Amino acid sequence: MEERQDTPATPKKDAFAALRYKDFRAYLGMRFFFTFAYQMQAVVIGFYIYQITHSKLALGYIGLCEAIPAISIALYGGYIADKYEKRKLLFMIFSVVLLASLTIFTVTLNSMSHWVQAGWVVPIIYVMIFFNGVARAFYGPATFAIYAQSIPKELYPNGSTWSSSAWQIATILGPAAGGLIFGHWGITPTFVIILILLVIALTLVYMLRSYPPVFIPKEDIWQSLSAGIKFVFHNKMMLGAMTLDLFSVFFGGAIALLPVFAHDILKVGSEGLGIMRATSSLGAVLTMLAMTRFSPMNRPWRNLLIAVSGFGLSILCFGLSKSFYISLIFLFTEGAFDSISVIIRGTLMQLLTPDDMRGRVSAVNSMFIGSSNEIGSFESGFTAELMGTVPSVIFGACMTLSIVTITYFKTRTLIPTRLSDISSPTEKKVQ
């Protein structure tokens, strides 16, 4: 039987414990470069489409085009991730994303400006975003399973912090680089860098070891999928965390409207947009680095409610701000509170999920949380078109705070729960 790791277990109090595992480092690098490219592309496409259309609803359609396939086939993506070898699956996923980005690069070349004049560039971008959504339906479950097998279970909290920190650092550098390069040199050089980063991420996939399936289906696909759904809906803490995040992100999706704030309200251009996107991620990554020493998992459910409340208040204050620098402060706190939520939810997901169901449970999580960002983007664009940009952000923030209040009264019995009280179903069977 193949050894699970290439280094011996390290003490849990070692802040770098998870990084001592080669496979985890390869996973971390892959996730960093992929997220960097993905975030860079997101900020550039958002600003580019708004420049062409001047439509807030067009920004919402970006999220909708990605969310529809991501939600529609998420459960099947989880089934495939459980059933097949993960490294080969990731190679196919990254190839689709690379091809989609290459297509967007081609139709937005300065020498092919007739695409814009003919009105074809925006529909083509939407189609490529749709294919990205298809790829993402498989990406989340596959990486969730690889993470779980790359480090020992006792290092999940430490690994979750490093994994989320890498993601947040990429979301700092990606939007900032995308906004600055797009503002100074245009969309073509920006997409050249995006393509290079995606090739690096694809190369890092080859550095991962083979991850054979731990799930051999003995029933048909529908029974397998329903088993994953039933597991989530019968776990009160997991379901509560997913539901809380779903609605808070859905209504608090002000990030989708940052191109409008940068272009029309604060008037800071694409460079300012990159700074705004990066500031949110800066707050997140600094908080996550602090959490490598000070874990929020001592009372996870209590801390999750506090974090989502802070997230809602930050969005509310951002919507009311008319100053670029004050807006940056609240974007920073929004990112900080959101990062606490991400760490807690990610750790709970890993601890509560049995090994043979990781792909399917991650798929359900993706339907709840991963796509809530895109659907939230559509909700933000739609409500901004109806009631105005600032009122829509204030409305979303108030709804987020209302959701937290309702969740508090529905889940008060979970508030005293400590991390030591939580164990996975696999551990319970052993006991």
Amino acid sitting at position 73: I
Q: Specify the pTM.
A: 0.65
Of the given ranges (40-49, 285-294, 376-385), which has the lowest mean pLDDT? 376-385
- The H-assigned helical ranges of 234-323 are 236-251, 258-260, 269-291, 300-320
Amino acid sitting at position 136: R
Q: How confident is the model at residue 152 (pLDDT cuts 50, 70, 90)?
A: confident
User: Region 246-254: what's the mean pLDDT?
Assistant: 72
The CATH classification number of 21-209+220-430 equals 1.20.1250.20
The radius of gyration computed from the CA coordinates of the chain, to the nearest angstrom, equals: 21
The alpha carbon of residue 234 and the mean position of all alpha carbons in its chain are separated, in whole angstroms, by 24
Q: How confident is the model at residue 331 (pLDDT cuts 50, 70, 90)?
A: very high
Helix 269-291 with 156-185: angle, nearest 10 deg: 170
**Number of residues that this document lists for the chain:** 431
pLDDT at 111: 45
Distances in Å between the Cα of 46 and the Cα atoms of 49, 122, 257, 289 are: 5, 11, 9, 29
**Cα separation of 418 and 129, whole Å?**
41
User: Region 307-323: what's the mean pLDDT?
Assistant: 91
354 closest CA partner among 244, 218, 235: 235
Contacts of 219 (CB under 8 A, 6+ apart): none
User: Region 136-144: what's the mean pLDDT?
Assistant: 82
110 closest CA partner among 23, 19, 185, 195: 185
| 257 has pLDDT over 90 | no
pLDDT at 34: 93
* Spatial contact of 253 and 379, defined as CB atoms under 8 Å apart: yes
Question: What is the average pLDDT score of the chain?
Answer: 79
**Cα separation of 210 and 201, whole Å?**
17
Q: Where is pLDDT greater, at 404 or 361? A: 404
Q: How confident is the model at residue 431 (pLDDT cuts 50, 70, 90)?
A: very low
pLDDT at 129: 92
Compute the C-alpha angle 251/392/61, nearest 5°. 70
The alpha carbon of residue 231 and the mean position of all alpha carbons in its chain are separated, in whole angstroms, by 23
**Cα separation of 149 and 209, whole Å?**
11
> Helix %, strand %, coil % for the chain, to 5?
80, 0, 20
| 195 has pLDDT over 60 | yes
User: Region 420-431: what's the mean pLDDT?
Assistant: 52
Q: How confident is the model at residue 138 (pLDDT cuts 50, 70, 90)?
A: confident
**Cα separation of 330 and 321, whole Å?**
9
pLDDT at 271: 77
Amino acid sitting at position 371: S
- Max mean pLDDT among 54-68, 188-202, 236-250 falls in 188-202
Q: Where is pLDDT greater, at 421 or 302? A: 302
* Neighbouring C-alpha atoms within 13 Å toward the C-beta of 271: 5
Distances in Å between the Cα of 108 and the Cα atoms of 29, 48, 117, 133, 388 are: 29, 10, 11, 20, 30
Per-residue pLDDT tens over the stretch 340-391? 887 887 777 777 777 667 666 766 776 666 556 666 666 777 788 788 888 8
Q: How many Cβ atoms are within 10 Å of 299's Cβ, its own excluded? A: 17
Amino acid sitting at position 75: L
pLDDT at 217: 57
Q: Where is pLDDT greater, at 258 or 198? A: 198
Q: Where is pLDDT greater, at 90 or 371? A: 90
pLDDT at 411: 82
Helix 300-320 with 324-352: angle, nearest 10 deg: 160
Of the given ranges (8-12, 58-62, 198-202, 303-307), which has the lowest mean pLDDT? 8-12
Give, for 357, the enclosing helix (H) or strand (E): none
Dihedral pair phi/psi, residue 237, rounded to 5°: -70, -45
pLDDT at 256: 73
